[in-house]
Every structure is written in structure tokens, then in C-alpha cells.
Amino acid sequence: MTSIAQRVDPGLKIKASIEVGKRRYWKALASCAAFQDRTTWECLRVLHTDIVAVWNFHDPHGYLYSHDFRKLVVNMVDKLDVGPTTNPDRNVTVGLSTVGAIAGIVSVLAGPAVPIVVPIVASAVIAKWVYDVYQLSGVVLQRFIAYIVDLTLVLQTLYLVSDSRELSRRVIKLAVASYHASPTSGEVHNRIQGYDRRLTLLERADRDTLDKIIELMELYRIDAKEISAVRAQIPSVDSVPDEPW
């Protein structure tokens, strides 16, 4: 983990996350006994901690491990229940175009010195399903996949906007709002909703689930050179006072 934490290429950090996930719970979401009799919220906490630790952000206040940030991610995942947001037959453009789209959104949101509004947290009420006891189903697996991928891609966006500085609530909200408003978010959820696999064979279900997580992470992974090409377009948020969640 120490070696992983020293890597500065976000693409390598996503690869490192995948390696950690293979050794931990991602490889057995469909059959993991450790999740039995525990609430979904408790299970997601374990996954959340594993993923955040890989990135090694300068987060002295522990914002990325806070209840508020985890609630942001859960409520983003909750949007899976709304239905597809993009055309699944459309060719998805990734790489530099994806980074450029997010950078453009960041530039707009970070410009004015006004509080950043994250639409997915309009209500203080957290999604009800996180309090349910973990029970295997297609919907549950979709939500777990979405949580892992959404959180990872939000952290990738945060890497883009934080530029190795100390994290504030404002910059984290900026990363969440930018990812949520980007085409990537809708495309990811659409691909997860199209993930229709059978649960008859747990061994296959586990392997297929892990493969789907890796596929989505690799598809939307961006390299250091791509980030450096657009970072100059993003205004600094250092000079703006921090704000509540």
C-alpha cells in the first residue's frame, strides 16, 4: 500500500485500486460470506475505505472518509433506479475528450466564489436501501458496481482539480458536481444498467462482476499526460474560503 500511495499517475492509481480489489472483496461480491448479516451501508464502508486509501490524498481532516462524503456517493448511485440516461447503442468517446469535458464543467463551476451546489444532495435523507441487510440480487450487485466505479472516477476527477493540495469540502464538492454533470456519469450508469447476468452460478457471477468493474475503470481511466494537458484550463480554488457540505 505504501508503494501504491506514492504513485502520481491517476491511471496507475486506478490500476492499483483494481489490484487491491482483486485481493479484497470485489472478487466475491456475489458470494462473500463477510457481507452476510451486515447492512449495505456497512459493506460499502469497507469498499470505500479500500478505494480511498489507494489515492493518498492530502486529507488531514478526513473529509473523504466522512459520513457526508459517503452519503454523496450513495445518493449518486441511487440514481441508477431512475433509468438509463444515455443511448446504449451510441459509441462512447473516452480519454482526452472525457477529461476535456470534465475540465470544461470544472471551469464553469469553480469560477464564481459562490457555494457549489451538488444536485444529488438536495435532500438530507439518504437512500433507504443502504440500511437493508446485504442480500444477493441483480439490483444489489448493480449498486455495488456503481459505488465502486463512481467513487473511483470521482477521485480521479478530484485528482485533476486538487493538484496535490490539501483537500477542502469545496474542492471535493467540485469534483463530485463535475463528475455528476459530465457525460461520463450517465454513460457509466447506462452500462451498469445494461449489465444483465445470471446469478445461477456464483463462481461465474463473481468473475463476471469483477470483469465488469475492471472494464468500466479501464474504459474511463485517464493518464497523467492527459491531465496535464487540461489542468491549465482549471481555475484555482485555493483562494476561495471553504464551505459546508
CB 230 within 8 A of CB 106: no
196: left (phi over 0), alpha (psi -120 to 50) or beta: beta
CB atoms within 10 A of CB 121: 19
Whose cell is 478530484? That residue is 158
CB 205 within 8 A of CB 30: yes
State the cell numbers at 18. 483494481
Q: What are phi and psi of 200, to 5 degrees?
A: -70, -35
Instruction: Give residues with Cβ within 8 angstroms of 49, minimum separation 6.
Output: 65
Ordered by start, the domain boundaries in the chain are 2-231
Instruction: Give residues with Cβ within 8 angstroms of 53, minimum separation 6.
Output: 1, 5
Task: Report the distance separating Cα 67 and Cα 219, nearest Å.
Answer: 29
pTM across the whole model: 0.84
In the predicted model, is pLDDT for residue 186 greater than 80? yes
Residue 64 pLDDT: 97
| Highest-pLDDT range among 125-129, 130-134, 152-156, 195-199 | 152-156
